[in-house]
Structure formats: structure tokens, C-alpha cells
Structure 1
Amino acid sequence: MSDPLTRLLADRDWLLADGATGTNLFNMGLEAGEPPEFWNADHPDRIRALYRGAVEAGSDLFLTNSFGGNASRLRLHNAQHRVAEVNRLAAELGREVADAAGRTVIVAGSIGPTGDIMAPMGSLTHALAVEMFHEQAEALKAGGADVLWVETISAAEEYKAAAEAARLADMPWCGTMSFDTAGRTMMGVTSAQLSALVEKLPNPPVAYGANCGVGASDLLRTAMGFAASGSERPIIAKGNAGIPRFEAGHIHYDGTPDLMADYACLARDLGVRIIGGCCGTMPAHLRAMRAALETRPRGPRPTLETITDRLGGFSSTSDGTDDGGPSRERRGRRRG
């Protein structure tokens, strides 16, 4: 138990993660198309406020503002030379906030997908993906991140590349995929397949699971798939705060703090160990989640019917594990 996250998991039944990055930064003035990672250098006080908002709401860990900080993503802004800078700053600012918290708070270095398609379907080779993830991982490590947090991945090959990069950086890591296409990832991975994958890796993650996706109901159905695999590895659930609605030129999520409090307790009762939010999840949601987790007694393992009664219906009839496969496609996007 050499890393802080493993030690904290050994002492606690559940940990509260953070909420949205993009949603909160847009509320602070981030413009559409503007790389949030640039704010680590240009507006550090706003990034400190982002981190502090999660910590003050009760989060035991938060993700750094580095989701799109790999060379492929930054190349879209002619900023591939800034990978080391923006990732190191993201972690340094996080370290500063965590160390001032007065309790143990984990700084998780966010690593999102490259945005490229892995070979043989696309041009991104395993070696190049490892190189990009490793560059980002080393910078997050230099900035003081406790753990690497690979998230919103769709392809098994990219997940494997990120795992290898974590090994090269000699860092503990966690890894989540986004199951947003009728219970599967955009590249067709099911919850059962991810559970099997993590156990075959030479350096498996400290914890694994799902983030983003469609809504809280769908994400918990995916978590049920992880639990059914029989793995004893800690499960992560970071669901969106409801369903996005496009109103007056902006995306709004309809999940209330009360709904996310119900989601958090259902996740805990499913056996999820790290519970947080993704797109649309604000500090008010996190405060309600923390209060509910601390005060509501543990209940029986919820059924699919319980989940839909409490959180609303699923977006598809399939959980992705049948032979039908995905019935629709959704494009990859920035974690909210």
C-alpha cells in the first residue's frame, strides 16, 4: 500500500470524487473551443477555485485540469510543445490546494483520450499513444499528482497504452471508460470486457470503472456489470448530473442535488468504492452527495427497477452485454 489512494481506500468504505471540470470552467468564463489547460498558466486562481470548490464540498479526491493535455489534442492549437508545462502546472496547483485542505485529499492527474483512432482502424500506433501518455504522465508526476487518472476512454488499445505509460512513469493509476453507446463504449467495449481487461494488464489500475456516458441511471447499470464480474478491485462511478438539454445556446444538465444524492447512495449500495460526478456536477451536487453518503444507512444491493424508480429510465434497452451490440453512435467529446 505504497500510494496515498490505496491507503485511503484501505481505511474507508467509500471515497467521494469531484464533479465536472468543463461545466465549472464554462461558468467561470471559458469560451467554447478554448483549451482549458491554458488556464493553468493564464488563470491559475480560477483553477485553484475549481479544485477548492470540490474540496470544500467534501471531495476526497479531485482531478487536475489536464484532460486534453496530450500532444495530439494540444496540436490542434499549435501548442504540442506545452504538454510538460500545462500538465505540471495543473498538478502543482492541485498539490497546493490539497496540502492546504487539513485532511488527506488525493490529487488525481487527469489523462483523457488522444482524440485519434488507434490502428489498425486509424493511424495512431500503440508506440505513439504510449509516448504521448507517458509525456503527460511524467509532467503530472513532476507537479505532484498522487495518482494518474485515465478517463473517458473508448478503445481497449488506448486503455492498454495508458497503462503502459503509467508503468513507465512508475505511477499508480486509475482508469475509466465512457459507456455511452447502448451500454458500450463508442468502440464497442462492454463492462464485462473492461473488467476482464484490467485483470490481464501487467500493471492493473488501483481502481477502474466508468465516467460520463449518458446519465446516472445508465452509469449505474454499467457499474452493475462491473460488480457482476466478481472482481475485487475497487470500482469507480462518475456519472453525469442527469441528461443534457440545449437551452438558450447553452447545455444544461437536469440532475438536481437530490437526484445525485440518490445516485451516490445507490452506487455505494452496489459496492462502488469511488463515487463522483462528471458533466454538469457542481459543488452543490457534491455537498448533497457527501451528506447523503454520511447520513443514509447502507441499503440492499439495488435492482434495475430500483435504479429507474429513483433516477429515471435508461437510454437504451440493452446494457451492451447482449449480442446485439451498440445501436447508435455518439462522438467523443471533452469531459464536462
Structure 2
Amino acid sequence: MGPDPLSLLLEERDWLLADGATGTNLYNMGLAPGEAPDLWNEKHPEKVLALHRAMVAAGSDLILTNSFGANACRLRIAGAADRVAAINLAAARLARQAADEAGRKVLVAGSMGPTGEIMAPMGRLTEAEAVRIFTDQAEALKEGGADLLWVETISAVEELRAASAAAKAVDLPWSGMMSFEPGGWTMMGVTPPQLAALVERLPRRPVAYGANCGTGPTELLVAVANFAAAGSERPMIAKPNAGVPRYQDGGLIYDATPEVMAEFAVLARDLGVRIVGGCCGTTPAHLAAMRQALESRPRGKRPTADMISQKMAAVAAQATAG
């Protein structure tokens, strides 16, 4: 297999800007509370396409398909377990359309989130079954035009291993992210150094790996600093939530301003992160500020955990005062 599209783009660029939130942005576009965002690929494709286009216009080099929860386990809750192939195919085609219209190189990453089930031996879902569930999703994303798989918000080692096996089965490159709690480990007890070691032992190693979601940009940067300290050579990803959510005017607003996310992006780059983006609450306005900061601010020295906390607190306080 030759070089994959993500590795080729990383050879040309010091950093890449991924996109922002899918679910929370669709919620603010009319998605009903409790409704599966993935179903909008068929119900409201024009809105999903509009969101992808807005992410590209804000400067994203890589956009995620609207398929985070489009696996059989999660779609069963929405009464659509038999629609896995159709929903993922539609998701990939919509993102592919937006990427192809960009007039520059934009990659399509097939988003695959956790199954929502507890893995054996603590739960009922076996690793073999998880591989099958992820493979069904991955096949449709590949058919729809995804350049790579984007496995995110994972908390269990077994689930990451199953997603890696699915990437191998469909012969697609992939990237993997876990979501870390404020204490520095995932819900299932995995630490950043453990993840850094784990990715080298997977059935198919990821092109890039890192952290997404979590409690906000500062905590996620500290987790990523621990990847760097583990000595991994693999490109790192940082895609945090835009702070903490609150309801305002009938919509969800997150408390990290575009200025805060721009500061995060620069600190992440200076830490050695190659792919920077945002998760829940990150809008095209946040991304545009991040892109502008990455392009205009010179690279600084590698920040320590203390420097990260101080700088992020200062810019947050400034944003609040403003």
C-alpha cells in the first residue's frame, strides 16, 4: 500500500486544521433533542452539506462525516439498525461533495464513535462482534468516498483494537482518539502514556492518534502533553470541546470563545500536535479564529503543563472581561 492521503498532506504541511462539532451544530440548526444526528444524512441532507461547506469555508483541511453514532448498536436505539450501510454511505457522499467543491485539498474522514456498549469481560459485547459492527460501518464509509477512518471518543482498549481491525479489514488508513477525564485517564482507566504505547501494538497502526472531546481545551492539552512526554513519533491530534455547554436562547452554547480556541490551537501546535480541531460546541467561527492564529502567529517554544494552564486561563479571563 502506498502513502495514504493524510500522510501525504502532513508531509506538505506543519499542521492541519480539522473541523468542529457535528452534533451540536446540527442541534442549533434544528435537530431535536434526543434525535440521532446521523439520520439527518437522509432526512435533511441539505443541512448536513451546508455544515460541511461552512467548515471548509472556515479553513478546515479535514472534515468528518456525520456518522459518529451510525453503528448498529447506536442506530438500534433510533430504530434504524438495518440502515447502517445506507446512512454511512449518505454521510460519506455528503462530506465528499463538500470536500470536492473546496478548490483545494480537503480530506474526508469517516467518523466512527464508540458502540455505546460495555466490552467483555465487564460487559456483553465481544471484541469479535465489535470488529464486525465497525467493519460494516467502515465498508459503507469507504464506498461513499472517505479517505480515512476517524475513530473518536473511545474509552476502552478493546474497542480501539476492534476499530483498528475494521480499518485493516476494509483496507483504509485510520486515526484514533480517546477521550480523557480531568484526572488524566479515560472512563475505562486508560492513561495517555498507555494509549501512546497501545497504538504501536494494534492490528493496523493509526496514521495519527490523540485525544478528543473531554472537558475542554486546557485539560485536553495537558493529556496531549503526556503523549509527547511518552516519546511517540506518530503525528498527534487534539480536538477538544469548546469548553462547557449551557442552554441559551433555545440552543446550546459552549463557554470557550473563538479567542480561547485560537490560543488552544497555537499552544497545541507549539506542543507538536500536527492535527488541530474542535469537538462539541466548536463552530465555524471558532475554526476561522483558529486558522487565522495558526497562520499568523509564529511558532513558540514547547509549552509546559503550567504554561498551558496559565495562558489558557489568561485568555479565558480576557474573553470574559471583554
TM-score by length of 2: 0.95
1:99-110 counterparts in 2 under 5 A? 99-110=100-111
Corresponding position of 1:262: 263
Moved more, 2-11 or 66-75: 2-11
Deviation string, structure 1 residues 134-176 (Cα, Å, up to 9, x no partner): 0000000000000000000000000000000110010000000
Aligned pairs for 1:177-216 (under 5 A) are: 177-216=178-217
Is 1:38 aligned with 2:50?
Answer: no
Query: Cα offset for 1:252?
Result: 2.3
3-state SS of 2:63 partner? strand
Question: Residues of 1 paired with 2:61 and 2:288: CA distance?
Answer: 12
Separation in 2, partners of 1:256, 1:185 = 26
Q: CA deviation at 1:249?
A: 6.5
Question: Which has the higher relative contact order, 1 or 2, with Cα contacts under 8 A spaced 6 or more apart?
Answer: 1
Identity of aligned residues (%): 64
What does 1:1-336 align with in structure 2 at a 5 Å threshold?
A: 1-246=2-247, 250-312=251-313
Aligned to 2:276, the other structure's residue is in SS state strand
Relative distance call for 1:304 and 1:67 in structure 2 (3 A) is same
For the residues of structure 2 that align with 1:244 and 1:34, how far apart are their CA atoms? 18
1:250: how far off?
Answer: 5.0
Spell out, residue by residue over 1:2-44, the C-alpha distance to the aligned partner (whole angstroms, 9 max, x if none): 3211100111100000001111101110001111111101111
Aligned residue identity for 2:261: M
Shift of 1:312: 2.7
Pick closer, same or farther for the CA change 1:171–1:83 going to 2, 3 Å: same
For the 8 Å contact 2:153–2:212, the answer to whether it is kept is yes
User: What CA deviation, in whole Å up to 9, does each residue of 1:46-85 have, x standing for no partner?
Assistant: 0101111110000000100000000000011221100000
Runs of 4+ with deviation above 4 angstroms: 246-250
Q: What secondary structure sits across from 1:208 in the alignment?
A: strand
3-state SS, counterpart of residue 79 of structure 2: coil
Distance 2:299 2:279 in 1: 23
Deviation per residue, 1:274-313 (Å, 9 max, x gap):
0000111100000000000001000011112221122139
Whether contact under 8 Å (2:244, 2:255) holds in the other structure is yes
**One-letter identity of the residue aligned with 1:78:** G
Give, in whole Å, the separation in 2 of the partners of 1:77 and 1:212: 23
Q: Structure 1 CA distance, aligned partners of 2:250 and 2:226?
A: 36
Distance 2:173 2:304 in 1: 33
Pick which of 175-184 and 123-132 moved more. 175-184
Deviation at 1:242, TM superposition (A): 1.8
Using the size of structure 1 for normalisation, the TM-score is 0.91
Letter in 1 for 2:56: V
Contact 2:175/2:208 (<8 A) preserved: yes
Q: What residue identity is the alignment partner of 1:188? A: G
Name the aligned partner's letter for residue 52 of structure 2: Y
Contact 2:247 2:253 in 1 (8 A): yes
Aligned residues: 313
CA distance in 2, matches of 1:71, 1:159: 17
Matches of 1:114 and 1:247, distance apart in 2: 30
- Is there any run of 5+ residues in structure 1 with no aligned partner, and where? 314-336
